[in-house]
Chains A and B, each alone.
Chain A
Amino acid sequence: MPVLPTEYEKEAVKPSTSSAAIVADALSKSYDGKVVLDAVDVRVAAGTVFALLGPNGAGKTTMVNIFATLFEPDAGQVQIAGHDLARDPEGVRSAIGVTGQFSAVDDLLTGEENLQLIADLRHLGRDDGRRRVNELLERFELTDAARRPVSTYSGGMKRRLDLAMTLLGDPQLIFLDEPTTGLDPRSRREMWDVIGELVSAGVTIFLTTQYLDEADRLADRVAVLDHGQIVAEGRPDELKRRVPGGHISLHFPDPQTSQSAAHVLGAETAGAESPTLQVPGDGSPASLRALLSRLDAVGIEPDRLSIHDADLDDVFLALTGRPTDQPGPKT
Chain B
Amino acid sequence: MTTLAYTLTDSRTMLRRQLKHLLRYPAMTVLLLGMPVIFLLLFVYVFGGQLGAGLIHEHVAGHGSRSTYLNFVVPGILLMTVGAAANGTSVLVAMDMTGGIVARFRTMSIARASVLAGHVLGSVIQALLGVAIVTAIALALGFRPTASPLDWLAALAILALFANALAWLSTALGLAAKSVETASNTPMFLTLLPFLSSGFVTIASMPPGLQQFARYQPFTPVTDAIRGLLFGGASVAGDILPAIAWSIGIAVASYLWARRLYDRRSVT
Binding site for B on A (CB under 8 A): 1-10, 65, 68-71, 90, 93-94, 96-98, 100, 102-109, 113, 117-118, 120-123, 149, 165, 169
> How close is A24's CB to chain B, nearest CB, in angstroms?
17
Chain B at the A interface: mostly helix, strand, loop or mixed? Answer: helix
Q: Is B144 an interface residue when CB atoms closer than 8 A count as contact?
A: no
Q: Is B205 an interface residue when CB atoms closer than 8 A count as contact?
A: no
Instruction: Tell me the bound Cα distance from A118 to B111 in angstroms.
Output: 13
Please state if B6 and A10 are interface contacts (CB–CB under 8 Å).
Answer: yes
Instruction: Tell me the bound Cα distance from A98 to B110 in angstroms.
Output: 14
With a cutoff of 8 Å between Cβ atoms, the chain A residues found around residue B215 in the complex are: none
Please state if B4 and A123 are interface contacts (CB–CB under 8 Å).
Answer: no
Can you name 7 A-B pairs with beta carbons within 8 Å? A2-B160, A10-B6, A10-B109, A68-B107, A105-B101, A108-B20, A121-B13
Give the contacts of B121-161 with A (CB-CB under 8 A).
121, 124, 157, 160-161
Please state if A2 and B120 are interface contacts (CB–CB under 8 Å).
Answer: yes
Instruction: Tell me the bound Cα distance from A4 to B121 in angstroms.
Output: 9
Other than the given A1-B160, A100-B104, 16 more pairs (CB < 8 A) read: A1-B164, A3-B248, A3-B255, A7-B113, A8-B3, A8-B6, A8-B7, A9-B3, A70-B107, A98-B104, A102-B103, A106-B17, A109-B20, A121-B108, A123-B6, A165-B104
Which of A70, A113, A169 is within 8 Å of B267, CB to CB? A70
> How close is B123's CB to chain A, nearest CB, in angstroms?
9
Q: Is B188 an interface residue when CB atoms closer than 8 A count as contact?
A: no
> How close is B100's CB to chain A, nearest CB, in angstroms?
4
Nearest to B125 among chain A residues (CB) is: A2
With a cutoff of 8 Å between Cβ atoms, the chain B residues found around residue A6 in the complex are: 3-4, 7
Q: How many A-B residue pairs have CB under 8 A?
A: 109
What is the interface size of chain B, counting residues whose CB is below 8 A from a CB of the partner?
49
Please state if B108 and A4 are interface contacts (CB–CB under 8 Å).
Answer: no
Please state if B13 and A5 are interface contacts (CB–CB under 8 Å).
Answer: no
With a cutoff of 8 Å between Cβ atoms, the chain B residues found around residue A5 in the complex are: 7, 111, 113, 116-117, 255, 259
> How close is B93's CB to chain A, nearest CB, in angstroms?
14
Which of A2, A68, A98 is within 8 Å of B117, CB to CB? A2
Instruction: Tell me the bound Cα distance from A123 to B121 in angstroms.
Output: 20
Q: Is B184 an interface residue when CB atoms closer than 8 A count as contact?
A: no
Instruction: Tell me the bound Cα distance from A190 to B97 in angstroms.
Output: 30
Chain A at the B interface: mostly helix, strand, loop or mixed? Answer: loop
Among B9, B24, B106, residue most surrounded by chain A Cβ atoms (within 10 Å): B106
Which of A7, A107, A149 is within 8 Å of B99, CB to CB? A107
With a cutoff of 8 Å between Cβ atoms, the chain A residues found around residue B200 in the complex are: none
With a cutoff of 8 Å between Cβ atoms, the chain A residues found around residue B168 in the complex are: 3
Please state if A8 and B4 are interface contacts (CB–CB under 8 Å).
Answer: yes
With a cutoff of 8 Å between Cβ atoms, the chain B residues found around residue A65 in the complex are: 266-267
With a cutoff of 8 Å between Cβ atoms, the chain B residues found around residue A122 in the complex are: 108
Please state if A121 and B110 are interface contacts (CB–CB under 8 Å).
Answer: yes
> How close is A70's CB to chain B, nearest CB, in angstroms?
5
Top 7 nearest A-B pairs by Cβ distance? A104-B104, A104-B100, A5-B113, A93-B109, A94-B109, A120-B13, A8-B3
> How close is B18's CB to chain A, nearest CB, in angstroms?
10
Please state if A71 and B107 are interface contacts (CB–CB under 8 Å).
Answer: no
Please state if B111 and A70 are interface contacts (CB–CB under 8 Å).
Answer: no
Q: Is B67 an interface residue when CB atoms closer than 8 A count as contact?
A: no
Which of A1, A4, A100, A113 is within 8 Å of B103, CB to CB? A100
> How close is B99's CB to chain A, nearest CB, in angstroms?
7
Q: Is B30 an interface residue when CB atoms closer than 8 A count as contact?
A: no
Please state if B107 and A106 are interface contacts (CB–CB under 8 Å).
Answer: no
Among A5, A10, A108, A109, residue most surrounded by chain B Cβ atoms (within 10 Å): A5
Nearest to A98 among chain B residues (CB) is: B107
Which of B106, B121, B161, B252 is within 8 Å of A70, CB to CB? B106
Given contacts A6-B7, A117-B17, A123-B9, contact A102 B107 (CB under 8 A): no
Instruction: Tell me the bound Cα distance from A109 to B18 in angstroms.
Output: 10
Nearest to B167 among chain A residues (CB) is: A2
Q: Is B32 an interface residue when CB atoms closer than 8 A count as contact?
A: no
Please state if A2 and B124 are interface contacts (CB–CB under 8 Å).
Answer: yes
Instruction: Tell me the bound Cα distance from A109 to B164 in angstroms.
Output: 25
Please state if A123 and B113 are interface contacts (CB–CB under 8 Å).
Answer: no
Among A8, A70, A103, A113, residue most surrounded by chain B Cβ atoms (within 10 Å): A8
Q: Is B189 an interface residue when CB atoms closer than 8 A count as contact?
A: no
